[in-house]
Structure formats: C-alpha cells, structure tokens
C-alpha cells in the first residue's frame, strides 16, 4: 500500500475496561481488509487505527466494534495525503 493512501483515526471506545477488551477490539479491527495498524490505549479508552480509506470506512469500523458490544463514542480522523 502506498503511504499516500494511509489515513489515521482515533476511535474513542468507552466500554473497554480490561485486557480482554483490548484483544477483542484489536482483533476485530485487524480482521478488516484495509486496516494496517491498530494501537489501543486502555487508560484513555482510545484506539489509533491506520487504514486505507479506499478499502475500509470509519463506518465499517464502527459497525464491527458495535457488533462486539464496543460502541464507538467519537472519531477523530487525519485525512490521507493526496
């Protein structure tokens, strides 16, 4: 994947509270085609995601996490470079 197609997002996931939560959230996001990096900050209840916006959307990430009972409260994105 070209670096120009990488976008970054920070998802706030307030329901994360333990190591099992971290593993579930990381595994769920990593299973999505187009997600290239996932880093969880349990203390701040945030997930940093690097992804290819031509292959996966923020909505898809929200949906799969909600399906695992980890709803996303907010998202901050960094647009991909053109």
Domain ranges in the chain?
3-78
Residue 7 has pLDDT above 90, yes or no: yes
Domain 3-78 coded CATH 3.30.70.100: yes
- pTM (2 d.p.): 0.89
pLDDT tens per residue, range 23-82: 999 999 999 999 999 999 999 999 999 999 999 999 999 999 999 999 999 999 986 655
Q: What is the DSSP string of the chain?
A: --GGG-EEEEEE-TT--SHHHHHHHHHHHHTSTTEEEEEEETTTTEEEEEE-TTT--HHHHHHHHHHTT----EEEEEPPP-
């Amino acid at each position: 994947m070209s670096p120009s197609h990488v976008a970054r997002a920070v998802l706030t996931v307030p329901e994360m509270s333990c190591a099992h939560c971290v593993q579930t959230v990381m595994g769920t996001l990593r299973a999505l085609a187009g997600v290239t990096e996932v880093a969880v900050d349990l203390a701040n209840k945030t997930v940093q995601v690097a992804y290819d916006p031509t292959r996966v959307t923020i909505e898809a990430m929200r949906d799969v996490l909600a399906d695992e009972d980890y709803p996303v409260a907010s998202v901050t994105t960094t647009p991909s470079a053109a």
